[in-house]
Structure 1
Amino acid sequence: MSGAAIALLVCAILVVWGGLVLSIVAVARRPERSDYPAGGLEDDREDGGVSPRDT
């Protein structure tokens, strides 16, 4: 393998594994959102909430 091919391989490995590490760290720091907007299965709004769509 040439030097350029090895350099590109190292860069690709760093991008993939670095992204994996950063995403694991981000999920570990904030595992679940707690500030969801109103709505969902237990919606108590007067207008009936979000209408279901058949897609």
Structure 2
Amino acid sequence: MTPLAITFLVLAIVIVWGGLVASTVFLRRSPDVAEYPAGALDDHREDEAPIEHDT
């Protein structure tokens, strides 16, 4: 492998594994949301059927 390929390999490994480590540390510090935002009014979307097209 050329030095440029090794450099990009190391850079890619650092980005991927660094992101994994950073996200793990973030989740360890704040694992759960303390309070969820207030929800909107119920709009009854589940009461409507999907659109049916004549084919």
Is TM (by shorter chain) over 0.5?
yes
Q: Which runs of 5+ in 2 are unaligned?
A: 51-55
Percent pairwise identity? 47
Query: Segments of 4+ in structure 1 off by > 3 A?
Result: none
- Aligned-CA RMSD value: 1.9
Alignment match, 1:2:
2
Letter in 2 for 1:51: D
Letter in 2 for 1:53: R
The structure, 1 or 2, with the larger RCO (C-alpha pairs under 8 Å, 6+ apart) is 1
Greater helix percent: which structure?
A: 2
Q: Can you list the C-alpha shifts for 1:1-55, whole angstroms capped at 9, x where unaligned?
A: 1000000000000000000000000000000111212238xxxxxxxx2213247
Structure number, greater radius of gyration: 2
Letter in 1 for 2:37: P
Give the Cα separation in 1 of the matches to 2:4 and 2:20. 24
Number of residue equivalences: 47
